[in-house]
Amino acid sequence: MLSWSAISGFSGGLGLFLLGMWLLTEGLKLGGGSALSRILASWTTTRLRSFLSGFSLTAVVQSSSAVTVAVIGFINAGLLDMSRSLWVVFGSNVGTTMTAWIVAIVGFKFKVDAFALPAVGIGALLHLFSTGVRFRSAGGALAGFGLLLLGLQILQGAFSSLEHAVDLSAFSGKDASSIALMLLLGLLLTAVMQSSSAAMAIVLTAVATETVTIAAGAAAVIGANVGTTVTALLAVLKATANARRVAVAHMLFNVITATVALIVLAPFIGLIAWFQLTLNMDPNPAISLALFHTAFNLLGVALMIPLEPRITARLKRLFTRGETQTTRMQYLDGNILRIPDLALNATGLEQSRILGEIATLIRQFRQGVTLPNAAFAELRAVLSDINEAIVECSKQALPGDIAEAFRKAIEANIHASNCLDNLRAGAKLPELENSLSQPQKDMLATFFAHGLNLANYYEAAVLGAAGATDDRNLPEDFESSYDDMRKYIVSQGQQQHLSSRTMESLLQELSLFRRMIRQYVKACRTLGALRQDKPTIGEQTYDH
């Protein structure tokens, strides 16, 4: 029967491992998010380089989810195509096997206390007393690594007592039922704990203490790999289309690889044993299992070489409906908010899309198109969702530059929302125009043309739309045209060419149009500053 010390040792060791893994990955994500982005941007020009990037980044960051989120951000930004993105994900799958090597070599071969406790102490001091967020993150990562190793040591002791207290014969055989049970156990451990690394630590500890056989442990490793697809699919149920495509690719990779590995499990384990013997490697069962974990993921990569083009083509046709909808965010979701650098980039993409939609509404308004109330409500809802996402991301400890950038992003959203309010309030303008004489209409058209030229310039300069003009005096021309138009309308009223009511209504509508254009320009300029892509004209005109 299990003793209380065995139960507490197992739960406490597992808890320390999970806490350590969380601190390690969160620290590395916060501290190295920008570096991760730079590497992905420059080292993914071919399928091979994409695979190596995914492998190396995951091996360093110790989080395949962080790399996958970065990949999704790059697909959304158009910096990575789907094919190269999938190879980063495949490389990331192999990179996760480095956790098993760390556990097998460091956790079981060395005296953990010698460096785990100093790592916790030094890391905690860095985290508590460093002034910069990135140094605090590095301290958290170092402390997390130390806790992870201490958790492994406690788990090892718990399994040693578990072997004598519980009959594990059903899990330690080589027959089909034992393999199936261990496969299911590995899957459930990963799904429940939301961590394949924790599941691997448990399985490796069980094999290292000879609680279960290598064959049973290998089946559990395969199950843990499949279990990651469960957590990935659950995480992207309400995510962006590209996030769901990547999750499906991840699932296909793991399921196909697991199926083939199970079919050839016995000869595969024999091949691993022969490989260790030939290279005079340590025959430790934990080393054997770590080697198996890496080898069967490499087998999956080999299987993907001919299959990936077909998978990519099929994925591009999936989840296309949401990409054309204005009512939902296309780049920001709960997954990408975990890495502030990438969340900031995704925020800029969302805002560019919304400002492009607003520019379209402005042009339709001037063309006499009746704008439905639903269009305004949808855009305001997305702006609100973006603000909520920024607030959610800001709950993390953010570097000062990113926190300031998020503040500017909210400021841009406020300007965009004000622009929509003024656009909606100007609904009477087309009706007023119909009551004017032709000379009055021509004068009004000149004023509106100056406003549209200014809005079109900022749409092109900041958002990358086509049709930018080289005119450097657009803001001044618009303000001058507004002053001229006001004077003209007042003079028309004084000369009784306009009724006093029409004159007042026109002046009010002109003011609304001017404020609408000014708010649109401010939103674009704020976003341009956020992206360090400032337009060069009229820098002082709309500062206040």
Q: What is the pLDDT of residues 213-260, one digit of tens each?
A: 899 999 999 998 888 887 777 767 777 788 888 889 989 999 999 999
Given 278, 295, 322, the domain boundary residue is: 322
Q: Which pLDDT does position 516 carry in this prediction?
A: 94
Q: Is residue 119 assigned to a domain?
A: yes
Are 292 and 341 members of one domain? no
369 DSSP 8-state letter: P
Are 378 and 290 members of one domain? no
Given 261, 293, 322, the domain boundary residue is: 322
The CA distance from 126 to 20, in Å, is 16
Q: Is residue 327 assigned to a domain?
A: no
Q: Is 1's pLDDT higher than 60? A: no
Are 290 and 354 members of one domain? no
Q: Which pLDDT does position 243 carry in this prediction?
A: 80
- In this prediction, residue 450 has a pLDDT band, given cuts at 50, 70 and 90, of very high
Average the pLDDT over 70-84 and give the result: 79
Are 487 and 355 members of one domain? yes
Q: Which pLDDT does position 191 carry in this prediction?
A: 79
Identify whether the C-beta of residue 166 lies closer than 8 Å to the C-beta of residue 158: no
Identify whether the C-beta of residue 523 lies closer than 8 Å to the C-beta of residue 355: yes
The CA distance from 195 to 224, in Å, is 9
Given 294, 322, 350, the domain boundary residue is: 322
- In this prediction, residue 334 has a pLDDT band, given cuts at 50, 70 and 90, of confident
Identify whether the C-beta of residue 319 lies closer than 8 Å to the C-beta of residue 244: yes
- In this prediction, residue 326 has a pLDDT band, given cuts at 50, 70 and 90, of low
- In this prediction, residue 537 has a pLDDT band, given cuts at 50, 70 and 90, of very low
Are 241 and 376 members of one domain? no
Q: Is residue 435 assigned to a domain?
A: yes
DSSP string, 414-441: HHHHHHHHHHHHGGGHHHHHHTS-HHHH
CATH number for position 444: 1.20.58
The percent of residues in the chain predicted with pLDDT above 70, rounded, is 86
Q: Is 541's pLDDT higher than 70? A: no
Are 317 and 341 members of one domain? no
Q: What is the pTM of this model?
A: 0.71
- In this prediction, residue 539 has a pLDDT band, given cuts at 50, 70 and 90, of very low
110 Rama class: left (phi>0) / alpha (psi -120 to 50) / beta? beta
Are 219 and 99 members of one domain? yes
Q: Is 329's pLDDT higher than 60? A: yes
419 Rama class: left (phi>0) / alpha (psi -120 to 50) / beta? alpha
Number of H helices, E strands in the chain: 22, 0
Q: Is 152's pLDDT higher than 70? A: yes
Q: Which pLDDT does position 511 carry in this prediction?
A: 93
Per DSSP, which regions of 444-509 are E strands?
A: none
Q: Which pLDDT does position 94 carry in this prediction?
A: 94
Identify whether the C-beta of residue 509 lies closer than 8 Å to the C-beta of residue 428: yes
Q: Is residue 312 assigned to a domain?
A: yes
As a whole number of angstroms, the longest Cα–Cα distance in the chain is 105
Are 305 and 378 members of one domain? no
Q: Which pLDDT does position 533 carry in this prediction?
A: 42
Are 128 and 64 members of one domain? yes
Question: In 3D, which of 338, 21, 27 has the Cα closest to residue 199?
Answer: 21
Bigger pLDDT: 186 vs 115: 186
Q: What is the mean pLDDT of the chain?
A: 83
Q: Is residue 241 assigned to a domain?
A: yes
- In this prediction, residue 435 has a pLDDT band, given cuts at 50, 70 and 90, of confident
Q: Is 169's pLDDT higher than 50? A: yes
The CA distance from 96 to 90, in Å, is 10
Are 349 and 280 members of one domain? no
Q: Which pLDDT does position 57 carry in this prediction?
A: 85
Are 217 and 248 members of one domain? yes
Q: Is residue 544 assigned to a domain?
A: no
Interval 266-283: pLDDT, tens? 999 999 999 998 988 888
Q: Is 307's pLDDT higher than 90? A: yes
Q: Look at 124-128, 214-218, 389-393, 424-428 and tell me which has the smallest mean pLDDT.
A: 424-428
Identify whether the C-beta of residue 476 lies closer than 8 Å to the C-beta of residue 538: yes
What size, in residues, is the chain? 544
Give me the number of domains the chain comprises: 2
Range of the domain at 506: 336-530
Interval 9-29: pLDDT, tens? 778 888 888 888 788 777 776
Interval 337-360: pLDDT, tens? 888 888 898 899 899 999 999 999
Are 234 and 361 members of one domain? no
Q: Is residue 423 assigned to a domain?
A: yes
Q: Which pLDDT does position 256 carry in this prediction?
A: 94
The percent of residues in the chain predicted with pLDDT above 90, rounded, is 35
The CA distance from 541 to 544, in Å, is 8
- SS3 state of residue 535: coil
Q: Which pLDDT does position 538 carry in this prediction?
A: 43
Q: Is residue 540 assigned to a domain?
A: no
**Count of alpha carbons within 13 angstroms of residue 142, beta-carbon side:** 19
